[in-house]
Amino acid sequence: MRRFWKSVGLEQGTYGYGIRLDGRALKTPMRNELYLPTKALADAVVAEWEGVAEEIDPAAMPMTGFANAAIDHVAPDRAAFAASIAAYAESDAFCYRAEPDEPLAPKQAEIWGPWLEWAQGRYDVSFRIVHGVLHEPQPEATLEKLRAAVLARGTFELAAMAKLAHLAGSLVAVLAIVERAGTPAALWEVVCLEELWQEQNWGADYWAQKNRSDREAEFLHAAHFLELLRI
């Protein structure tokens, strides 16, 4: 779609800040009115729409995308959406380690262990460490508490958390970002431990690095969206 508007504005209403294109309400893909809960997020979305030169490129408008997802996909069934995010606790990447005699195992324990310890203290849970790739269930009490922690987050937060969980494969990493227990950039290095270890030992591949760089950009956009919800 080509740019058809001349001006982008804000209008504060009952549900937050609405975006106006030449005075008309901006709608989501499902034709709901797009609104933002904080002024900082609204300003970021305005900047994305003001930045459109000729053609709309959704990839260049991540804040708008997360807001659309919150309104169109999270809000209609928030509990079900939260459950899909909480499901990452069942096979959290930080719990799955190389066999104890493999060189990677000590590095995983060094880097991932402290984050599991953080989650254990923060949510009063315990984790089962699995060596190998075969699935082993986590304690049901742990899963219940982490489900509750996810369900407690807001609609707009959940939209960004879903992206973070998909990219990280770790609910612990997502909650650490939500709770500001670590910086998104540092946690991205943590979740990419195995990839970075492989590169260090076997050499880098251009396309693998590019793929990781693209995923990092998405990860940081999602984390930035969360931060804008707090301002």
Nearest to 179 by CA among 120, 112, 226, 131: 226
**Quick check: is 70 in a domain?**
no
Residue-number span of the structural domain to which 49 is assigned:
8-60
- 157-190 core/surface letters (b: 16 or more CB in 10 A; e: else): bbbbbbbbbbbbebbbbbbbbbeeebebeebbeb
Amino acid at 108: Q
- Residue-wise pLDDT tens for the chain (231 aa)? 889 999 999 999 888 999 999 999 999 999 999 999 999 999 999 999 999 999 999 999 999 999 999 999 999 999 999 999 999 999 999 999 999 999 999 999 999 999 999 999 999 999 999 998 899 999 999 999 999 999 999 999 999 999 999 999 999 999 999 999 999 999 999 999 999 999 999 998 999 999 999 999 999 999 999 999 998
For residue 36, the domain's CATH number is: 3.30.2180.10
The torsion of the CA quartet 52, 223, 75, 33, rounded to 10 degrees, works out to: -20
Is residue 2 one of the residues assigned to a domain?
Answer: no
Can you tell me the distance from the alpha carbon of 44 to that of 230, in angstroms, rounded to the nearest whole number? 13
Amino acid (1-letter code) at residue 149: A
Cβ contacts of residue 100 below 8 Å, gap of 6+?
131
1 in a domain, yes or no? no
Please tell me the pTM assigned to this model: 0.95
Quote the radius of gyration of the chain (alpha carbons, Å).
Answer: 20
Phi first, then psi, for residue 94 (nearest 5°) are -70, -15
pLDDT score recorded for residue 72: 98
State the alpha helices, DSSP H only, in 76-192: 78-86, 104-123, 140-151, 155-168, 171-178, 184-191
Say yes or no: 49 and 88 in one domain.
no
The answer to whether residue 177 sits within a structural domain is yes
Domain total of the chain = 2
Structure confidence at residue 231 (pLDDT)? 86
In a domain, 102, yes or no: yes
Looking at the structure, do residues 52 and 84 belong to the same domain, yes or no?
no
Q: What is the pLDDT of residues 199-225, one digit of tens each?
A: 999 998 999 999 999 999 999 999 999
* Residue 135 shares a structural domain with residue 90: yes
Tell me the HSE value of 27 on the side-chain side, using a 13 A CA sphere: 5
Q: Do 49 and 111 fall within a single domain?
A: no
**Helix and strand element counts for the chain (H, E):** 10, 6
The predicted pLDDT at position 154 comes to 97
65 within a domain of the structure (yes/no): no
Residue 67 lies in a domain: no
Residue 105 is encoded by which pair of tokens?
Answer: 């195992």
Per-residue model confidence as pLDDT tens digits over 124-161? 999 999 998 899 999 999 999 999 999 999 999 999 99
